[in-house]
Copies of this chain bind each other. A is one copy, B any other.
Amino acid sequence: MSTVAEKAGVSTKTVSNVVNGTGSYSPETEQRVRAAIEELGYHINPFARGLRSRRTDTIALVLPNLYQPFYAEFAEQVIRSPETQGLKVVLESTRGDAGRERAVLSSHRELVDGVIYVPHALGPEQYLPLPFARPTVVLGERPAEAAQLGLDYVETADEQGAHAVVGHLLAQGRRRIAVIGERPGPWAGARRLRGYRTALAEAGVDYDESLVIGVDDADLWSSGVAGATRLLRTRVRFDALFCFHDVVAVGALSVLARSGIAVPDDVALAGFDDIEAARFASPPLTTVDLGRESIARTAVALLRSRMDREDSRELPGRRESTGFDLRVRASSTTTPAPTESGVTAR
């Protein structure tokens, strides 16, 4: 930088101003500085900058697992979001393990400017007491206590999405709608179950616990196979199956096929997440798109607005909600469905 300053005949202060767009300088000065930068192939040293200004221009994305396509696709959206431009994204995978999740969250010190956190193994009562050293936005339902802690939330439309997809199944005339994916606790599964129950209640259909199958969240892919197998073994009658994740639905689909159960004729099938594999299943899967792109943009935008302020610790936690799209495909429609219909809600 001092070489640039010398060449341009100014002080390093001025070079710094030009590079960062801070302070003020005459257009001619800027010209000279930029020319010198160009000529010398100068680029700023991020360590020196970080040492002084405590900015890293890096955010951490804390996810359970990239083997789950939903998280992988979400990560991709975070990386390509326009809001992310100029930031590096460090990916940390917790493998859905409580210990690792805690360790990863506690390790963010001056290494990143902010954190996007997708909880999996830890519930609010476990992660809220953690020392969040950096601005953090959490994906999921915001517990009341979180407001004063300065954590921002992106609340996804799990309940509304589940409500819509179950409403769709009911509209197809299905009444015995089994679900696979229940998982007690404060996670998305619980919200999806709420949507399911509300939709049933509105249609005057009784909630039947024998239709509700839990999952082992450690491996959702095989949970579909395990869950559907369990469901069939109970011999409970059902004419629709709503899986709380597409990967579960894909696994369930293979079990149904092997058991000679036709989808959608015998059983209408629906998933959740709208991952790529849902579009290309046979038959293509009816599902709910939570809007990975808009979740990603919202999360990064929340983070940026907090990263840029000195007093960010004092700011109360905010809450943003995102919408969903119901994707009706052949797995749930006996009458030939339009190739792809999107019902948007907000």
Contacts and interface: CB of A to CB of B under 8 A. Distances in A.
Interface string A41-76: 001011110110000101000000111010011011
Interface in A250-292: 250-251, 253-254, 257-258, 276-277, 279-284
A56 B46 CA distance: 10
A91 interface: yes
A260 B50 CA distance: 62
A161 interface: no
A257 B262 CA distance: 13
Contacts of A224: 280
A280 B282 CA distance: 12
Given A66-B66, A67-B72, A251 B280 contact: yes
Contacts of A79: 66, 91-93
Contacts of A95: 80
A225 interface: yes
A184 B88 CA distance: 33
A221 interface: yes
A110 interface: yes
A301 interface: no
B80 A72 contact: no
Contacts of A43: 109
Interface string A12-48: 0000000000000000000000000000000101111
A8 interface: no
Given A69-B72, A88-B111, A250-B281, 13 more contacts: A45-B110, A47-B51, A69-B277, A72-B72, A72-B75, A76-B93, A89-B90, A89-B91, A90-B90, A90-B91, A221-B279, A247-B276, A247-B280
Interface of A: 43, 45-48, 50-51, 56, 58, 65-67, 69, 72-73, 75-76, 79-80, 88-93, 95, 109-111, 221-222, 224-225, 247, 250-251, 253-254, 257-258, 276-277, 279-284
28 contacts: A43-B109, A45-B110, A46-B50, A47-B47, A47-B110, A58-B90, A65-B76, A66-B66, A66-B72, A67-B69, A72-B75, A79-B93, A80-B93, A80-B95, A88-B90, A89-B91, A90-B90, A221-B280, A222-B280, A225-B280, A247-B280, A250-B280, A250-B281, A254-B281, A254-B282, A254-B283, A277-B277, A282-B282
